[in-house]
């Protein structure tokens, strides 16, 4: 697996991750601001500037390592802060903020898939191909209902109180749970299958 990924692919993947994660996190901040919370704006996160959102370890190094090892990018940007007490619609407002990030990745994937059909440049085609695949992967990964991933925030808004309490309990260990599921192969095959299914549906 290590030898099957070219240097150009890794560069394309890095560029994609930086662009896509910046938009992902910015959308969290923009939706929070639209719903009445200015916390992200006050902390300089209402921005598309990648330097505001990326973390060298979890946004750059981690996804490259997990791509090489598992074919699945596991990564995290700096979480966008928001105050749920200042957000309209209470838990449902928080769910909208959470959903904005992964939905931005799905939209980016659709946009990239459309551009693929009109480019004749091989370099651009290869980049767009990587861009689409990784944005679909980011969408799928982030909608997993495992705290602290975005999907868990959406589920939390609709979950009964006992499930909400359970999600709060496991949140500090959520990323370790994801790693364990990937390492054991429980999650990897599911993510790859779902990723391929969505790719087939794109234009």
How far CA 18 is from CA of 58, 63, 70, 102, in Å, comes to 11, 11, 20, 15
Q: Which entry of 25, 90, 165, 171 is annotated as an active-site residue?
A: 25
Integer Cα distance of 155 and 142 in angstroms: 12
Active site residue 25: yes
Q: SS3 for the chain, per residue? A: CHHHCCHHHHHHHHHHHHHHHHHHHHHHHHHHHHCCCCHHHHCCCCCCCHHHCCCHHHHHHHHHHHHHHHCCCCCCCCCCCCCHHHCCCHHHHHHHHHHHHHHHHHHHHHHHHHHHCCCCCHHHHHHHHHHHHHHHHHHHHHCCCCCCCHHHHHHHHHCCHHHHHHHHHHHHHHHHHHHHHHHCCCCHHHHHHHHHHHHHHCC
Residues acting as catalytic residues: 25
């Amino acid at each position: 697996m290590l030898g099957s990924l070219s240097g150009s692919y890794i560069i394309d993947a890095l560029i994609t991750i930086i662009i896509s994660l910046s938009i992902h996190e910015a959308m969290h901040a923009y939706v929070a601001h639209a719903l009445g919370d200015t916390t992200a704006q006050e902390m300089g996160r209402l921005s598309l500037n990648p330097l505001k959102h990326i973390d060298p370890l979890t946004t750059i190094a981690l996804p490259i390592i997990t791509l090489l090892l598992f074919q699945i990018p596991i990564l995290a940007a700096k979480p966008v802060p928001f105050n749920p007490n200042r957000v309209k619609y209470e838990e449902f407002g928080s769910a909208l903020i959470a959903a904005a990030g992964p939905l931005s990745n799905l939209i980016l994937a659709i946009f990239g898939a459309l551009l693929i059909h009109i480019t004749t440049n091989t370099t651009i085609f290869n980049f767009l191909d990587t861009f689409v695949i990784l944005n679909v992967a980011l969408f799928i990964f982030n909608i997993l209902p495992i705290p602290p991933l975005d999907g868990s925030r959406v589920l939390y808004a609709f979950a009964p109180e006992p499930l909400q309490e359970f999600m709060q309990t496991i949140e500090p260990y959520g990323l370790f749970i994801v790693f364990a599921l990937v390492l054991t192969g429980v999650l990897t095959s599911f993510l790859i299958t779902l990723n391929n299914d969505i790719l087939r549906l794109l234009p």
